Amino acid sequence: MSDPRRRALLTGFLTLAALSAATAAAAVSCASNATRNGFDVDAGGGGSPEEPGPAASGAAGSGGFSGLGSPGAIGDGGAPAPGLDGACASTVSQAKQVPVVLVFMFDRSGSMGDSIGGGQTKWSALVPALEAFFADPKSAGISASLQFFMQPDECNVAAYFAPLVPVTALPNSTAFATAINAISPSGETPTQPALQGALQYAAQQVAQTPGAKVAVVLVTDGEPNGCGSSVPNVAGTAQDAAPGIPTYVIGIGKASDLKKLATIAEAGATGQPFFVSADAGATGGSCGDAGCAAQQIEADFEAALGVIRGATISCDLQLPTSPTNQKLDFGKVNVVYTGSGGQTTTLPYNRDCSGGGAGWNYDNPQAPTRIQVCPSSCATIQGDTLGASLGIALGCATQSAQ
């Protein structure tokens, strides 16, 4: 499930914003009365990596930005904290987060109740992982909705437009669990009206929250059937909404039995579907009994959801808002990547993302409005599915690619 090639397929969708690194230090020792923490105090103008701002001189106190650190005066004799370049300190600010919404449409057809032995069914094996995703602190920054198909009025698109759980900020350990535990498998797989309803609801979220990044997550254990549903017309529905609203597909069962689901995922601009095996012994003999099969289903499904969640890490960050009467010095901005293991890396400024596409740049070097992470670095960050984060560090000279 964590194959880098699969992660790379997700990169196109995700221009969603990220949380910053956890800590912030004090103001820069390389600042002067003209600049503080990466801002030009008298708003006379800020530099850029191509045209740096005012030269630095003097000592720094313990000033902070956006509530990080404590206020201090330049030249008050305070000792500078360690910085990105070893000579000055910086303040890491939280990037403004673009709203992220995942609209889940989950198959509850009768075949989801099929036994996998040992008193377990596909449904009972999937539910713990689904509930865990919604309750996981690593899902913070995402909102989600949830609906199941089929509905009693199974061919009516409107029955799928209104979710059982409307858009709710994650993590949430109660609303989703309560809804899931009230559902049991039954009926057909009317994927066409179900996906139409989910995409209409997703479009409503885009309209209500300008700038939001919204995607549908379709989970099913079979090819479309019922209400005139077929692979071609479901794929056409997904394609009509993409790439603005992509559709991720998670197939529950053997890839060989569900290979036509790839047509839907490709049409939905997310590449290949994820497959969660529902067979004991399906992992080449390493999982030979029912209890192991249930564990494998849960683990595979959790991994698929983790990759989708990881892809919501932004590769397109908004610049911090300047304090009153101050202007951001674009020559004193750095981007910090904190991996899920806690390791911290300062990404280099790379104006044209050359040399393998690592680092970051500005959307417009002469008049920046946002920061863009280069493709190679973006793929690495989005592939860290266990909880990576990005931060914007202000106050030290921008580190550039060599």
| CATH classification of the domain holding 276 | 3.40.50.410
pLDDT at res. 187? 94
Q: Work out how many domains the chain is built from and give that number.
A: 2
Cα separation, 10 vs 380, whole angstroms: 12
Mean pLDDT of 178-195: 96
Query: Is residue 334 located within the same domain as residue 291?
Result: no
Of 254, 279, 310, the domain-final residue: 310
Residue 144 CB partners (closer than 8 Å, separation 6+) = 101, 102, 103, 104, 134, 165, 167, 168, 170, 176
Q: Give the pLDDT band (50/70/90) at residue 38.
A: low
pLDDT at res. 284? 42
pLDDT at res. 177? 97
Position 148 pLDDT exceeds 70:
yes
- Contact indicator for 327, 46 with CB cutoff of 8 Å: yes
Query: Is residue 165 located within the same domain as residue 228?
Result: yes
Residue 168 CB partners (closer than 8 Å, separation 6+) = 143, 144, 145, 175, 176
Decide the pairing of beta strands 344-347 and 360-362: unpaired
Decide the pairing of beta strands 213-220 and 247-252: parallel
Cα separation, 19 vs 313, whole angstroms: 8
Q: Give the pLDDT band (50/70/90) at residue 98.
A: low
- End-to-end CA distance of the chain: give it in Å, rounded: 35
Query: Is residue 218 located within the same domain as residue 198?
Result: yes
Query: Is residue 105 located within the same domain as residue 91?
Result: no
Query: Is residue 241 located within the same domain as residue 138?
Result: yes
Query: Is residue 305 located within the same domain as residue 320?
Result: no
Q: Give the pLDDT band (50/70/90) at residue 312.
A: low
Mean pLDDT of 83-106: 69
Range scoring the smallest mean pLDDT among 202-216, 317-331, 367-381: 317-331
| pLDDT cut 70: percent of the chain above it | 70
CA neighbor of 56 nearest in space, from 32, 76, 22: 32
- Contact indicator for 278, 252 with CB cutoff of 8 Å: yes
pLDDT at res. 250? 96
Residue 128: domain span:
100-310
Structure tokens at 232: 């071609």
Query: Is residue 320 located within the same domain as residue 267?
Result: no
Position with higher pLDDT, 322 vs 39? 322
Q: Would you give the DSSP letter of residue 103? A: E
pLDDT at res. 402? 67
Of 260, 290, 310, the domain-final residue: 310
Query: Is residue 348 located within the same domain as residue 231?
Result: no
Range scoring the smallest mean pLDDT among 105-109, 135-139, 178-182, 281-285: 281-285
Range scoring the smallest mean pLDDT among 13-22, 110-119, 127-136, 375-384: 13-22
Query: Is residue 234 located within the same domain as residue 352?
Result: no
pTM of full prediction above 0.75: no
Position 83 pLDDT exceeds 50:
no
pLDDT at res. 278? 65
Query: Is residue 227 located within the same domain as residue 274?
Result: yes
Mean pLDDT of the chain: 77
Query: Is residue 66 located within the same domain as residue 137?
Result: no
Side chain identity at 310, as an amino acid letter?
G
Q: State how far Cα 32 lies from the chain centre.
A: 38
Q: Is 105 exposed, middle or buried (0-12, 13-18, 19+ CB in 10 A)?
A: buried
Of 282, 310, 338, the domain-final residue: 310
Query: Is residue 83 located within the same domain as residue 113?
Result: no
Position with higher pLDDT, 284 vs 124? 124
pLDDT at res. 89? 55
